[in-house]
Amino acid sequence: MATHRFNPEFTDNVINAMGPKTTPRMRKLMSGLIRHMHDFAREEELTVDEWMAGVQMLNWAGQMSDNKRNEGQLVCDVFGLETLVDEITFTLADEAKDAPTATAILGPFFRADTPWRELGEDIVKTRPADAELVFMHGQVLDFKTKEPLAGASVEVWQASTNGLYEQQDPEQVESNLRGKFKTNEEGKYWFYCLRPTPYPVPNDGPAGKILELMDRHPFRPAHIHILATKEDYRPLTTQIFDRKDKYLDNDSVFAVKDSLLIRKFSYHYSCTPHQNTVSYLP
């Protein structure tokens, strides 16, 4: 029984227009999407102008996107959708007693063609004048046995101090501030990188417009992205955050989790390729 005063059959007519070749999962997803979209339009009594503004945002996101700019994902991120999908995935894994380190969103700046680097290498290939170099290290373990995982791949990427990832910034060399490391026989990895700094997500397109319309700032707290993979294991996508960052409580893409906040561990002098490095212990 319809609880609104509009055509009570319309939404079912649209859903029932799907043909028999649609897979069950696709039918379920499309039915839910159509039902929620129609309910939203009816509940808010969406005007033609408001709907058209939304269409223009979608088109603008498409026109801006290329292999260096993923505006569609960015729009989802400012709405919290990637973080929500990440939470759903992690909760299902947790309920199946299969959730190790907390996950966090991939974000739009991952690159599938990141180069392999030697353990101990410096991923800072274009060094900003205000750089603070840090030593980052960690260990990959089998969640069930707690044994170290040798030969796992640990991929990392971070923005420079100007807030830009290398693919956004012609001043940075290709693959600056990203690298893929293979863990040693103790499952350990280590490398040098920049002490991460907070940065604004790109806000010169529809995602920025949406933030402005909602009176929100674009900043993300300082973080480093990590993707750990190993054959026969589920990949782990996560981020680590500087425990002292001022944006931890209002990340523009809502990705912070308490267990991903890290503490400053120690300072090293002269025994490393860089002076005055800081190491982080996740």
87, interface contact from ligand BEZ, Fe ion, none, CB < 5-8 Å by kind: none
Contact (Cβ atoms closer than 8 angstroms) between residue 204 and residue 235: no
**Minimum distance, C-beta of residue 18 to ligand BEZ, in the bound complex (Å):** 33
As given in the structure block, the two tokens for residue 198 are: 């907070």
How many residues sit in the footprint of ligand BEZ (CB under 6 A)? 9
Q: Given the complex with ligand BEZ, which of 61 and 105 has the nearer CB atom?
A: 105
- Distances from the Cα of 212 to the Cα of 47, 78, 206, 207, 252, angstroms: 21, 11, 10, 9, 12
108, interface contact from Fe ion, ligand BEZ, none, CB < 5-8 Å by kind: ligand BEZ
Contacts for 119 with CB less than 8 Å, ≥ 6 apart: 181, 182, 184, 189, 190, 191
**Minimum distance, C-beta of residue 173 to ligand BEZ, in the bound complex (Å):** 19
The Cα–Cα gap between 155 and 205 comes to 28
**Minimum distance, C-beta of residue 279 to Fe ion, in the bound complex (Å):** 21
| 77 binds ligand BEZ per the rule CB under 6 A | yes
Binding mask 86-115 for Fe ion (x = CB under 5 A): ---------------------x--------
> Would you report the helix, strand and coil content of the chain in percent, each value rounded to 5?
30, 20, 50
**Minimum distance, C-beta of residue 44 to ligand BEZ, in the bound complex (Å):** 26
Query: Interface with Fe ion by CB under 5 A: which residues?
Result: 107
